[in-house]
Structure 1
Amino acid sequence: MGREGSIGGGAGAAVTEGVLRKILLSYAYVAVWIFLSFTVIVYNKYILDPKMYGWPFPISLTMIHMAFCSTLAFLLVRVFRLVDLPSAPPMTRDLYLSSVVPIGALFSVSLWFSNSAYIYLSVSFIQMLKALMPVAVYSIGILFKKEIFKSSSMLNMLSISFGVAIAAYGEARFDGTGVALQLGAVAFEATRLVLIQILLTSKGISLNPITSLYYVAPCCFAFLLVPWSVVELPVLRARSTASLRPDLLVFGTNSFCAFALNLAVFLLVGKTSALTMNVAGVVKDWLLIAFSWSVIRDTVTLINLFGYAIAFLGVAYYNHVKLQALKAKEAQKKAAQADEEAGKLLEQVDGPGDNRKGETQD
């Protein structure tokens, strides 16, 4: 009896240890993602802001990121063969043109606009404007018939928008160009996320961050060449070569951080869930606002914080609703599996019984 109790205690300890390890790993993935996302945002602000590093060429910076990510992804996939490309379904030319190219185009414009906004707006205000992402995703989801219109959801979206509007009203460094760029970035990013569901997920295509960069990054680089040749190339030609020579250490580490962030996103979403990333994003936004106010010395007003607090509550409620829907879906899936297993068990029990009955009658 003592031995049985010992075995049971050992199993319970093993289960507890396994659960604890899983929880600690989840927190580690969240911490790594927050750190890298935080680093990339602040690093981009440092490079692009005229008052800091003073290299105000957001398209060029984005192209450097895409070139760096394309090269690393190519080496990992084609040269070292550490990552396999999806084979079911295979990435054909038609599939690439119909699915990957539109997503790459939207991604390139989203990155261009969001990086450009750092020239005009503070880090804290940009994070407040990013709270509109659920509003954009929900609205575009309805437009593409991926979301169902609900009055409660729309009221939630309006509360988030109202909070962001108050934060914008209280912004000390409000700039119309910067706000338009950031709102455009949110709209293009939301459209990209919805199109990923429509064009890739619905066709059974699953891409990890390396294969995503392998396919999407060169496409982004090609699309960015058009605005770069019109907007930044003439300015770059007019300046002296010495003033345009980028610091390899600064741009190299910045590009590596951007690449590492893609890996962190994959780990976080793959090992936890996209919802976890949304919740972690809220924590990251508050940390960035605090950092922007305390270290960068950006002005954050009480109206800013009041407006963002309203938006934050709306986003928190949005995440809560998503979590409840996810739990309901998982419970429904488990119930369906249980019914299927019960049906198979009944078939196994009834089958031999029927045979024996037939033998008796004979």
Structure 2
Amino acid sequence: MGKGGSLSDNVIKNIILSYTYVSIWILLSFTVIVYNKYILDKKLYNWPFPISLTMIHMSFCATLAFLLVKVFRFVDPVSMSKGLYLSSVVPIGALYSLSLWLSNSAYIYLSVSFIQMLKALMPVAVYSIGVLFKKDSFKADTMLNMVSISFGVAIAAYGEARFDTWGVVLQLGAVAFEATRLVMIQILLTSKGITLNPITSLYYVAPCCLVFLLVPWIFVEYPVLKESSGFDFDFVIFGTNSFCAFALNLAVFLLVGKTSALTMNVAGVVKDWLLIAFSWSVIKDTVTPINLFGYGLAFLGVAYYNHAKLQSLKAKEAEKKVAQTDQEADRLLGEKQGQGSDK
């Protein structure tokens, strides 16, 4: 085949690879969510200790990350001073521990489908906190879009058959802390030219999470575990669950690195619909028509938000290309004028 055929082959190959990365991420994210629900739900595995589960995840991830960085030299550690670690990584670790703790706790009280509907508020939280910290500029049309997403989630919550106020508070808290963490990463690390892949991120952040989780664990879950049979550790269940959590971190890096963060956002919407369908058909969670109508409105708002971000990225790339072309033209003109003066 000629050059045109070769190009077509490359395009097809890239499309197949992109769909493969998306499929791996959806599968692992799906597995971790359902697995956590299975372990924590009192009607299923009945091990309702979200702080302990999060600490198991962090211990596993920290150990594996340490082996990959320090022992096997799979990736190089990032050069980081003690001051930078304390001022940047520690706050991010604290926010991450709170986000994981609260999101895992919500599985005890809410259905998988309703949790996914509440997670549609993530763009709202990220944008609002970004504006608060002056990382995003306030735009009336974007805020109107955020209000429409919130309105859709509110309708979905109104129609929830298993509505639990405490569970909703926990999940909304998890969304708020996760959104703050994402903005803090941009402020504290990206602005300083530091980028962490999932392995180095877990290498630095997971130990912080363990320390921050240890305090509430001692007072909240340790006494209950001590008095019950909760310390009976099933290595198969918790080992495979922790490995899935670690693999999900790698899948996020693979997906964002090989495609884009926007692709992950779009794939996340597909994953949410699949989880809602799975929750309704397999787990037998009740999904009401009002649930679906409300989440449908929120879904349209999120889809529009992703579309607007895509258009903004395209506009920025076009501006960058125009600027590069102008610079190249100025350079060539300067060289021409220089040659003319030499004559």
Task: Give the TM-score band, short-chain normalised.
Answer: over 0.9
- Whether 1:67 aligns to 2:59 is yes
Distance 1:344 1:84 in 2: 39
Decide which of 2, 15, 18 is 1:23's aligned counterpart.
Answer: 15
**1:52 & 1:351 partners in 2: Cα distance?**
79
In 2, the alpha carbon distance for the partners of 1:74 and 1:318 equals 38
Aligned with residue 80 of structure 2, among 56, 78, 91: 91
Give ranges in structure 1 of 5+ residues lacking alignment: 1-8, 357-362
Structure with larger Rg: 1
Equivalence for 1:52 = 44
Partner of residue 259, structure 1: 246
* Identity percentage of aligned residues: 77
Matched, 1:162 2:151: yes
Counterpart AA for 1:36: L
Q: Distance in 2 between matches of 1:339 and 1:100?
A: 40
1:208-241 deviation line (CA, Å, top 9, x unaligned): 111001000111111100111111011111114x
Question: What residue is the counterpart of 2:290 in the other structure?
Answer: 303
2:267 aligned with 1:280? yes
Give runs of aligned pairs for residues 142-157 of structure 1, distance below 5 A.
142-157=131-146
Tell me the CA shift for residue 247 of structure 1. 1.1
Give the corresponding residue for 1:135. 124
1:13 — aligned with what? 5
Cα distance in 2 between the residues matched to 1:325 and 1:107: 29
- What residue in structure 2 maps to residue 123 of structure 1? 112
Structure 1 counterpart of 2:103: 114
Which residue matches 1:82?
Answer: 74
Deviations 1:8-30 (A, max 9, x none): x5111111111111111111111
How far off is 1:289 after superposition? 0.1
Distance (whole Å) between structure 2 residues aligned to residue 246 and residue 301 of structure 1: 37
Partners of 2:28 and 2:170 in 1: how far apart? 23
Give the Cα separation in 1 of the matches to 2:335 and 2:18.
Answer: 41
Q: What 5-or-longer segments of structure 2 have no aligned partner?
A: none
Which residue matches 1:360? Answer: none
**Is 1:294 matched up with 2:281?**
yes
Aligned length: 343
> Tell me, what secondary structure is at the counterpart of 1:148?
coil
Q: TM-score, normalised by structure 1?
A: 0.93
Match for residue 206 of structure 1 among 176, 191, 195: 195
For the residue of structure 2 that corresponds to 1:162, the secondary structure is helix
SS at the partner of 2:221?
helix
1:221 & 1:98 partners in 2: Cα distance? 18
For 2:310, the aligned partner's letter is: L
Q: Deviations over 1:178-202 (max 9, x none)?
A: 0000000000000000011100110
CA distance in 2, matches of 1:351, 1:219: 59
Q: Secondary structure at the match of 1:244?
A: coil
Q: Separation in 1 of the partners of 2:8 and 2:336?
A: 37
Find the aligned partners of 1:135 and 1:296 in 2 and give their Cα distance: 29
1:269 aligns with 2:256: yes
Structure 2 CA distance, aligned partners of 1:222 and 1:47?
23
Query: Cα offset for 1:325?
Result: 0.5
Distance in structure 2 (CA, Å) of the matches to 1:346 and 1:79: 55
Deviation at 1:339, TM superposition (A): 1.3
What is the RMSD computed on CA atoms of the aligned residues? 0.9
